Amino acid sequence: MSIITFQRGDSTALTKNFTRLEFQCPCGCGQQSADTELAEKLQLIRDKVDRPLKITSGYRCILHNAAVGGSSGSKHRYGMAADWRTANRSINPVALGILAQAVGFGGIGIYWHSRGAFVHADTRGTKATWLCTTPGQYPSTTYNKFVLPTIRRGCTGDANRAATKMLQRLLGLTPDGIFGEKTENALMKAQEVHKLVVDGICGPASWRAISGADKLSLIHI
């Protein structure tokens, strides 16, 4: 981790494809902060997907962080976090979240709801994963590791419902969070297409295949 400070409008390069300007607070304040490790890991992802990434939120001053509903301890406050997606929205956030884990980010939040689809990634020293399928609600947080829940028909609980909604979006279904017969049948068809064990259970292999993450050869980063 190496936090640098700079003034608003500074377009100095951080990596081959990212500049300081992309991480600045959007509210018009002066001094900015950015972790060079954050930019370097995003560059690894940019190189792997071979397409531009758009930073939708980087550094946040205390006022802007409060205005957007960020937590008081948000890593954005210290230049250690970015919310991002592919510029053309061509890769879903589940695959991008798996990729963020592969390059070694600490905190990873996967957001996929009515207001957008993006990934939060930060350089905290510990692991944390959360899923957000409703704006402003964070029902699923797992600490000390990156995990997408293993889900199956009849599963309950906030974490499983959030994961089910993301799976349903991947399968082209209405994301209602209920893992019933329709979701199970669609999952089994997808498992058959991807030459997986057809058991109607969405575990790590199914998440990677159905999201398209395995096509990015993530484990070889």
Contacts of residue 195, defined as CB under 8 A and 6 or more positions apart, other chains included, come to none
Contacts of residue 140, defined as CB under 8 A and 6 or more positions apart, other chains included, come to 129, 130, 131, 149, 158, 159, 162, 163
Mean pLDDT of 50-79: 94
Is residue 100, in this structure, part of any structural domain at all?
no
pLDDT number for residue 45: 96
Greatest alpha-carbon span in the chain = 55
Task: Count Cβ neighbours within 10 Å for each residue of 189-217 and write b for 16 or more, e otherwise.
Answer: ebbeeeebeeebbbeeebbbbbbbbbebe
β-pairing verdict for 128-132 and 107-113: parallel
Residue 4 corresponds to which amino acid? I
Is residue 37, in this structure, part of any structural domain at all?
yes
Domain that holds residue 26: 1-90
Q: Supply the CATH number for residue 82's domain.
A: 3.30.1380.10
pLDDT number for residue 217: 57
Residue 213 pLDDT > 60: yes
pLDDT number for residue 182: 98
